[in-house]
Structure formats: structure tokens, C-alpha cells
């Protein structure tokens, strides 16, 4: 067992990302140096932002280079350690890339290297305690600043981040309206995740339904989607409301520029604010969020839903599930037991 399977970025995508953008490869297992550990990846995390990392433009992380393994978060097991803080057998979270083995060290790479707290499963670590949970927590509370009694609108509501945003907003005493695609996701959001109202953008008039479900307009819009849903939302901005620009998945696979909302003037009239944020800025404060999120999970106030696929060969196809809107909850893939 000396082979490290990988999926490399073969070409930069135009239009919908898919298996054709990647290339399977085999290499030798890397060797950790002093201070480092060798991790065997067990679960890979799939995140909408990965499509953006494949494009050659300046952003908050450098683009993945052609011929390099695709960047991804992971949970794995330490199988060799040259760092006194880690023992063989420890479950850890790191930036594992699309491969079986990765060399990692604390403080290196976008995610560093952290041990899973006792009692925390890989699924929990990569969802509610991972990037999507932290994104929902800091994006909603720091940028959105919801107050009890306010209305919070969330797009991409059945995605991992969106489902946490809505549930945290409920915990904070807000009325929560979600926008998601298809009756299954909408039913889950209402019946299981406790949203007050849900709009099925595939089968309903989003603009009219926002008006219907937000009779007093909305105070916070947590936008994971962009595009026409953002425009529809901006027709129902309350005075001094806040838009959290978390992502715009609707445009990630576009082949050219997509027009923005024609009604930005509604921000002016309503003295409203639209603000972007990147979760990496909040990583130094991650433990603060993790403690509160774990508390809410323990008390049953916050549920997490995982869409778990299996098989190393399915890695590229699993990424596409995100942009096709196939996932309900956090998209993960198990590559090893």
C-alpha cells in the first residue's frame, strides 16, 4: 500500500464543472517531516466555493494549479506522526485535497490541522462544526446582526450553510423564511428544520412569495445564491436591513458575466447594507462558535443533515451535485473506512 490515488485539476472549467475537468492519477504516498503528520483521508468535504478555486483569478485563496490535486477539506486519520501533539489513530480535520493521503501540520494550509473533539463524528465535524456551520454562525450573527422579532430570509436554504442560518436565526428569536428548490427540500425545511415558511423557487413565483411570507419585508437576507433570487429579494428590503453576501452559486458555472440586480436603488431608499464576508477571517474565533454550536446540537435546537456519497471514483461527480442542487444538507463523500 504505497499508492496515493489523486484527482488532479486537468483543465479550468468553462460552464458547468464536471468529471471532464479532472484527471485520475496515482503517485507515491508523501513523507512527513519533523512537526508534520501523515493523514489518511476518510471523508471529503464538498463546498460551492470549490468551483471558484478552479478559476485563474485573484481571490481570497490562490487558484488550484493545473496538474495539482483539487483542494478540499477533509477528515482523516493520523497514520504517522512527527508532531508530539498528534498520535497515530487520531481523527483530524485538515485540507486533505482529493487524494488518499496528505501531509499536514497545525497552522499550515487554509484549514491547518485540528483534532476532532471527543464524541464528534466526522460528519458533524465537516458540517455543523465545519466551514458551513461557522459560515452560518459568523455570517448571520456578525454581518447580519439579527434581532429577536426580525424576519430573516435565506436563499439556498436546504444547503448546509442555509439550513444552519435559518435554525440559528430561529434560536435568536427571528421569523425565518427559506428559499429552496423542490418540494422535498421545502418539506424538510418546514417539518424538520423548523423554518416558519419556505418558498420553492422551482415551482413558485419567488418575488410574490417573498411578499406573501414577509408581510413586513425582511430585515436580514442571507444570500447563498445571487442572480434573480437576489433581485427578487431586493424588492422587499426593510428599512436599515442587511444583506449577507455569502455566495452566489447560481452564477458559479456561468460562461459569461450575469447581470446583477436592477434594483440596487432599493438599498439607497431603505438605508440598507450589503456586505460580503469570507469565513477564513473568522477562523481565529472558531472555538467560540464551535462551543455554542455544540451546545445547540446537544440541546436538540440545531440539527445537521448530511448527504453522504461513497467511493473515490465518484469524487468529481459528487462536486457537480452541489451546482445541480441535488444535495440536501452538507455534501460529503466517504473514500475510506
Q: Where on the chain is the footprint of a copy of itself (CB under 8 A)?
A: 59-60, 226, 230-231, 245-248, 251, 257-278, 281
For residues 284 and 300, which CB has a smaller minimum distance to a copy of itself in the complex?
284
Query: Any idea which residue has 451546545 for its cell?
Result: 295
Tell me the closest approach of the beta carbon of residue 143 to a copy of itself, in angstroms: 9
Burial (0-12, 13-18, 19+ Cβ within 10 Å), 246: buried
- Nine cell digits for residue 308: 453522504
**Cα(285)–Cα(65) distance, integer angstroms:** 30
For residues 96 and 139, which CB has a smaller minimum distance to a copy of itself in the complex?
139
Tell me the closest approach of the beta carbon of residue 110 to a copy of itself, in angstroms: 14
Tell me the closest approach of the beta carbon of residue 58 to a copy of itself, in angstroms: 8
Tell me the closest approach of the beta carbon of residue 26 to a copy of itself, in angstroms: 34
**Cα(15)–Cα(1) distance, integer angstroms:** 37
Burial (0-12, 13-18, 19+ Cβ within 10 Å), 208: exposed
- Assess contact for 116 and 107: CB atoms under 8 A: no
Tell me the closest approach of the beta carbon of residue 43 to a copy of itself, in angstroms: 27
For residues 58 and 300, which CB has a smaller minimum distance to a copy of itself in the complex?
58
Tell me the closest approach of the beta carbon of residue 230 to a copy of itself, in angstroms: 8
Tell me the closest approach of the beta carbon of residue 231 to a copy of itself, in angstroms: 8
HEC string for 107-120: CCCCCCEEECCCCC
What pairs with residue 178 in β-bridges? 154, 198
For residues 37 and 140, which CB has a smaller minimum distance to a copy of itself in the complex?
140
**What is the 8-class DSSP label of residue 158?**
T
For residues 184 and 275, which CB has a smaller minimum distance to a copy of itself in the complex?
275
For residues 259 and 300, which CB has a smaller minimum distance to a copy of itself in the complex?
259
Q: Cα–Cα distances in Å, from 270 out to 124, 139, 147, 239?
A: 39, 21, 18, 5
Tell me the closest approach of the beta carbon of residue 246 to a copy of itself, in angstroms: 7
For residues 16 and 297, which CB has a smaller minimum distance to a copy of itself in the complex?
16
CA–centroid distance for 277 within its chain: 13
For residues 266 and 320, which CB has a smaller minimum distance to a copy of itself in the complex?
266
Q: Which ranges in 196-251 belong to alpha helices (H)?
A: 206-213, 227-234
Closest-CA residue to 131 (of 72, 68, 60): 72
Amino acid at each position: 500500500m504505497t499508492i496515493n490515488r489523486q484527482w488532479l485539476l486537468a483543465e479550468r472549467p468553462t460552464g458547468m464543472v464536471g468529471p471532464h475537468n479532472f484527471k485520475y492519477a496515482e503517485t507515491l504516498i508523501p513523507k512527513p517531516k519533523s512537526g508534520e503528520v501523515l493523514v489518511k483521508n476518510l471523508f471529503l468535504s464538498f463546498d460551492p466555493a470549490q468551483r471558484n478555486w478552479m478559476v485563474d483569478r485573484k481571490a481570497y485563496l490562490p487558484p488550484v494549479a493545473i496538474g495539482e490535486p483539487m483542494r478540499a477539506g477533509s477528515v482523516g486519520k493520523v497514520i504517522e506522526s512527527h508532531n508530539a501533539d498528534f498520535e497515530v489513530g487520531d481523527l483530524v480535520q485538515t485540507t486533505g485535497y482529493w487524494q488518499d493521503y496528505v501531509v499536514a501540520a497545525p497552522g499550515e494550509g487554509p484549514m491547518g490541522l485540528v483534532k476532532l473533539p471527543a464524541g464528534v463524528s466526522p460528519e458533524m465535524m465537516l458540517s455543523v462544526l465545519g466551514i458551513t456551520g461557522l459560515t452560518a454562525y459568523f455570517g448571520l450573527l456578525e454581518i447580519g446582526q439579527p434581532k429577536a422579532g426580525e424576519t430573516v430570509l435565506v436563499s439556498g436554504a436546504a444547503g448546509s450553510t442555509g439550513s444552519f442560518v435559518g435554525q440559528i436565526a430561529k434560536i435568536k428569536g427571528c421569523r425565518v423564511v427559506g428559499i429552496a428548490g423542490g418540494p422535498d427540500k421545502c418539506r424538510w425545511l418546514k417539518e424538520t428544520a423548523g423554518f416558519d415558511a419556505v418558498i420553492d423557487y422551482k415551482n413558485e413565483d419567488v418575488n410574490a412569495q417573498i411578499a406573501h411570507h414577509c408581510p413586513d419585508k425582511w430585515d436580514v437576507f442571507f444570500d447563498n445564491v445571487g442572480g434573480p433570487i437576489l433581485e427578487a429579494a431586493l424588492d422587499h428590503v426593510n428599512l436599515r436591513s442587511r444583506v449577507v453576501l455569502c455566495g452566489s452559486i447560481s452564477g458559479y458555472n456561468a460562461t459569461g458575466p450575469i447581470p446583477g440586480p436592477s434594483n440596487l436603488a432599493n438599498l439607497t431608499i431603505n438605508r440598507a447594507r450589503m456586505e460580503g464576508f469570507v469565513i477564513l477571517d473568522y477562523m481565529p474565533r472558531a472555538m467560540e462558535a464551535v462551543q455554542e454550536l455544540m451546545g445547540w446540537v446537544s440541546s436538540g435546537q440545531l440539527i445537521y443533515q448530511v448527504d453522504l456519497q461513497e467511493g473515490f471514483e465518484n469524487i468529481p461527480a459528487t462536486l457537480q451535485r452541489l451546482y445541480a442542487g441535488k444535495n440536501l444538507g452538507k455534501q460529503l463523500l466517504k473514500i475510506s473506512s
